[in-house]
Amino acid sequence: MIARGAGPLGGNPFGVLILVLLLFYFLTGGLHSPIQNAGRDPVGFIGFIVAIVLGITVHEFMHAYTAHRMGDDTARQMGRLSLDPRRHLDLFGSLLIVLVGFGYGKPVPVSEGRLRSPLAFSLVALAGPLTNVALALVAALPLRFGAAGVVGGDYERILFLVVLYNCLLAVFNLVPVPPLDGSRVVYGLLPPRQAYAWRTYEQYGPFILLAMIFFLPYLRIDVLGPVVIGPARGLAALLLGQSF
């Protein structure tokens, strides 16, 4: 899973706790590490890397582009209006993705006061996940209409992983829990008083994410399955025109 947002381990008071939990689950086998499967399934690992690099890059680029079109040039001035993956991949967040399957990219800075309207804040937040859906759709077209078979099975598998992981990235980031994009979509749609109250909820976001990813599964309570994985697989199946 890939979280777009403020970098849960960088500049966050809960960062050390998250890091300890990630390492604990990695060492005890609680998380399936992509790099552990690289030797057994090199094509799958390559597909995972391609999907994640593309997914994070276009996701963050579209946040920057939409903010620029909505009147905020902060991201452009900081060099984020770019399709260069180096502008958007966080070194430590990327390392975590490879090691434990959960990490983050660099958040695009947005100056709310420069945007043309409160609704623009929601559109900037929504642009990233929608772009991941668009990327998944583009990758799904040759699979759905049979063109991938001309190249070969490995090519088909990489395209399939691009579809699946970008659907996961889109759905996960639409969950309305800070610092995910879904919480910002909600914030931009609320009246000023309710928006202020929603902002006070942000401090609890890391705890809620920790519970969803670590504590509730430990108690055999599956939240990610029905909220993220199930809808993402359903979206991927819709784009591919087949169930899997």
Most confident stretch, 16-25, 158-167, 192-201, 205-214: 158-167
According to DSSP, the residues that pair with 4 across neighbouring strands are: 105
Say if residues 55 and 135 touch (Cβ distance below 8 Å). Answer: yes
Q: Is pLDDT of 106 > 90?
A: no
Mean pLDDT of all residues in 97-106: 75
Lowest-confidence pick of 6-20, 33-47, 78-92, 190-204: 6-20
22's enclosing H/E stretch is: helix 15-27
User: How much is the pLDDT for 186?
Assistant: 92
- How many angstroms separate the CA atoms of 231 and 241, rounded? 15
- The tokens describing 29, both together, are 């086998």
What average pLDDT is seen over the chain? 82
Mean pLDDT of all residues in 212-224: 81
- How many angstroms separate the CA atoms of 134 and 139, rounded? 9
Residue 45: which residues within 8 A CB-CB, separation 6 or more? 34, 35, 37, 38
Q: Using alpha carbons, select from 65, 236, 81 the residue that is nearest to residue 159.
A: 236
- High-pLDDT (> 90) share of the chain, %: 43
- High-pLDDT (> 70) share of the chain, %: 82
User: How much is the pLDDT for 13?
Assistant: 41
- How many angstroms separate the CA atoms of 22 and 99, rounded? 9
Q: Is pLDDT of 148 > 60?
A: no
202 included as an active-site residue: no
Where does the pLDDT of residue 14 fall: very low under 50, low under 70, confident under 90, or very high at 90 and above? Answer: very low
Q: What is the DSSP string of 50-70?
A: HHHHHHHHHHHHHHHHHHHHT
Mean pLDDT of all residues in 195-211: 82
Mean pLDDT of all residues in 15-36: 58
What residue ranges do the domains of the chain occupy? 2-240
Q: Which of 60, 112, 156, 202 is catalytic?
A: 60
Mean pLDDT of all residues in 201-223: 81
pTM for the complete prediction? 0.85
- The tokens describing 60, both together, are 């963050």
